[in-house]
Amino acid sequence: MPALIRCLAGRSCRVRAVSALWPVVVKGSSTASLSPSPRCPEPGLPYRLRALQTSARSTTTATMHVPSPVSLQEPMVVPLKTLMGPGPSNAHPRVLEAQSQPLLGHLHAEFCKIMDDCKDGIRYMFQTENRVTLALSSTGHGGMECVMANLLERDDVILIAHNGVWGDRSSDMARRQGAVVHQIKEPAGSGFYLQELRAALDVYKPKVLFVTHGESSTGVLQNLNGIGDVCKAHDCLFVVDTVASLGGVPFYADQWGVDVVYTGSQKVLSAPPGTAPISLSENA
């Protein structure tokens, strides 16, 4: 039975039923019927209780058989630490302040305005005018999976520039979509030259070329100049992972001919984890 529960001390709580589907039977109380109300008496409650006997609402005390956790009786302690890894990183006070704002419904006009503002900010961040630019509710891994799930179908060919951990991870995700995966490899700590990427495109003729801009397992930053033009000449989509690089070095999606780019909020952008900004060109 759906209910709004307000916990009291120890093992008791008071339950206010708000379901309109079944009668409410609570131990030690009378049975109350539920019926829709044409005029909701309280914001957020679409139905009200209509008691069969004396009251329009039925309230009682129920016993909780599972005790409240002792660990939750103490205040939460989050120490201030200097985070020096590739992610997560320390958030700016403005970011922390934004998280403390009141909640809004996802259909409120103010929420839609904030969402549109965020999309404009992501376009600026990627330096693109792409209409399809948004923030996924996921980590950078979710951005990678979104790319593979939406761009690849079974037996599509993808070429992955592999020079570290993310070459392995992207290859695994592409194979799960049933794609034919080819890799062009360089040793860990090395990048790719434009001519070798061009040669690999000539050989494999892929639908997608996947390149990691900042390979966080080795610290290599890949030069992207010219790759987009080569991909366009081969009718190939150019996909770039910028999870560990965006915000730390310049990135120009439109100028470099990038078709799909994604990143993660918790790396150089210094925002909390859980958001993967992504942008797709009209070709993608």
In a domain, 88, yes or no: no
Residues 14 and 112 in one domain: no
Burial class for 229, CB neighbours closer than 10 Å (0-12, 13-18, 19+):
middle
Residue pLDDT, tens place only, 194-238: 999 999 999 999 999 999 999 999 999 999 999 999 999 999 999
Q: Is residue 113 part of a domain?
A: yes
Q: Which of 63, 81, 101 is at the close of a domain? A: 63
Whether 68 is in a domain gets the answer: no
Mean pLDDT of the 237-243 span: 98
In percent, the amount of the chain with pLDDT more than 70 equals 79
For residues 262 and 144, state if they share a domain.
Answer: yes
* pLDDT category of residue 172 using cuts at 50, 70 and 90: very high
The pLDDT of residue 58 is: 56
Whether residues 219 and 98 fall in one domain:
yes
CATH number at residue 264: 3.40.640.10
Residue 33 sits in the same domain as residue 145: no
* 156 within domain boundaries: yes
Question: What would the pLDDT profile of 244-280 be if each residue is shown by its tens digit?
Answer: 999 999 999 999 999 999 999 999 999 999 999 999 9
Looking at per-residue pLDDT, the higher value among 55 and 117 belongs to 117
Q: What is the pLDDT of residue 77?
A: 92
- pLDDT at residue 63, as a whole number: 85
Q: Looking at the structure, do residues 98 and 45 belong to the same domain, yes or no?
A: no
Domain assignment present for 251: yes
Q: Which residue has the higher pLDDT, 26 or 283?
A: 283
pLDDT band at 64 (very low <50, low <70, confident <90, very high): confident
Which of 56-60, 116-120, 183-187 shows the lowest per-residue confidence on average (mean pLDDT)? 56-60
List the beta bridge partners of residue 6.
14
- On average, the pLDDT of the chain sits at 84
Do 29 and 148 fall within a single domain? no
151 plus 15 within the same structural domain: no
Q: Which of 63, 79, 107 is the last residue of a domain?
A: 63
pLDDT value of residue 62:
81
Answer yes or no: do 109 and 250 share one domain.
yes
- Residue 199, pLDDT score: 97
- Note down the domain range covering 38: 3-63
Which of 44, 63, 82 terminates a domain? The answer is 63
Q: How far is CA 185 from the centre of its chain?
A: 30
pLDDT score at 194:
97
Question: Does residue 70 form part of some domain?
Answer: no
Same domain, 34 and 98: no
Q: Would 43 be classed as within a structural domain?
A: yes
Average pLDDT over residues 35-60: 49
- pLDDT of 46 over the 70 cut: no
Assigned domain for 181 exists: yes
Q: Where residue 57 falls among pLDDT bands split at 50, 70, 90?
A: low
What pLDDT is recorded for position 18? 38
Question: How many domains is the chain partitioned into structurally?
Answer: 2
pLDDT tens by residue, 142-158: 999 999 999 999 999 99
Residues 101 and 38 in one domain: no
Residues 105, 168: one domain? yes
160 and 53 inside one domain: no
Q: Greater confidence, 59 or 275?
A: 275
The stretch 23-34 carries a mean pLDDT of: 43
